[in-house]
Structure 1
Amino acid sequence: MSIIFAIIIIIVFFILAIRFRKTRRIVSLIFLTPVFLVLLFVGYVLFNSWYHTSADSLNFTVQKENQSYTVTGVWKKPLDAYRFPTDFIVFYVPNNEEVRDVKRNMVEDYKKMDRNGLEESVQEWIKKENPPELIPQIFDIETSKEFSFSFVLPENVKPNEVKIYYAHTREEPMDALEFWFKKIDLK
């Protein structure tokens, strides 16, 4: 009901602006200003609902030193406005051995968030994506234009045996979390 009332007011302002445009230009501009602001706001919301980043807009570079790796990621396109503050790194290591010394930028409020719910959502999405039969090791990382993380592989694990995915999360208002995954090659 209030949306209809707001639309009626905007239409009335527009009609009054047209009516006063020849005789009183300042009054016409005053009536046009709210119409213009509403159109800008609607355009902003529509654009951000339409614009999504894709896995193609993310590039990785990998640096290796013994069993220690540093992965740097750079987005070629702007990040989406409705991105979640945290993305995830998913490791699949043979024999379910643990990745050590994972260092990355984390969201400060991540501990206050429902961590278990977030990680369960990621695991449920991973199950749909046909993962290996290994147990995923999931680490959060702050979503930013440029980022890097480092880790150490177990001694007896070869880089080509490990599968690493970057999971980008997106949450539009009043909608569920959405994910897409991009594989990171350690070559």
Structure 2
Amino acid sequence: MSIILAVIVLIGLFILGIKFWKTSRIVALLFLLPVLAIFLFAGFVFFNSWYHTTPDSLNFTVQKENQSYTVTGVWNKPLDAYRFPTDFIVFYVPDNEEVTNVKRNRFEDYEKMDMFYFEESVQEWIKHQHPPVSDPQIFDIETSKEFSFSFVLPENANPNEVKIYYAHTRDEPMDALEFWFKEIELE
């Protein structure tokens, strides 16, 4: 009922704005501006609900020095408005060896976040994506237009056997977390 009343008021304001256009443009603008503002707001909300980044809009460059790697990521397109403040880096290393010295920018309030819940959500999502046999090692990273992270592989790890994925997280209002993954090639 309230939506119908709001639509009637908007139509009334629009009609009054058109009627007063020839006599007083200032009064007409006072009637038309709320209608315009509501349409702009609705368009903004619709666009941000519709626009999603894809794995194709993210490019990586990898620099290697011995067993130490630095990965730089750049988004070709704007980030989505409903992105989550953190994305994730997922490592699969053969024999479940541990990746060390993972350095990355983190979301400023990461200590206040329930990271266990988010890592659990990522692991649950990964299970449905046919992951490699080894256990995932998950690290959060701040979502930003340009980013970089570095890490050191174990001494006896073959870079061709290591799988690394960037997991982008979307958090639309009143919706569950959504992820997509993009593999990072080391060679």
TM bucket (normalised to shorter chain) is over 0.9
Aligned to 1:118: 118
After TM superposition, the structure 1 = structure 2 runs for residues 23-172 of structure 1, keeping only pairs within 5 Å, are 23-172=23-172
TM-score (norm 1): 0.98
Deviations 1:56-102 (A, max 9, x none): 00000000000000000000000000000000000000100000000
CA distance in 1, matches of 2:2, 2:152: 57
The CA deviation at 1:12 is 1.1
Q: Which deviates the most, 130-139 or 16-25?
A: 16-25
SS at match of 1:34: helix
CA distance in 1, matches of 2:40, 2:22: 25
In the alignment, structure 1 segments of 5+ residues that lack a partner are none
The CA deviation at 1:21 is 1.4
TM-score (norm 2): 0.98
Letter in 2 for 1:54: T
Counting matched residue pairs gives 187
SS at match of 1:81: coil
Letter in 2 for 1:45: V
The CA deviation at 1:143 is 0.2
CA distance in 1, matches of 2:84, 2:3: 28
In the alignment, structure 2 segments of 5+ residues that lack a partner are none
Deviations 1:142-181 (A, max 9, x none): 0000000000000000110100000000011110000000
SS at match of 1:160: coil
CA distance in 2, matches of 1:185, 1:25: 61
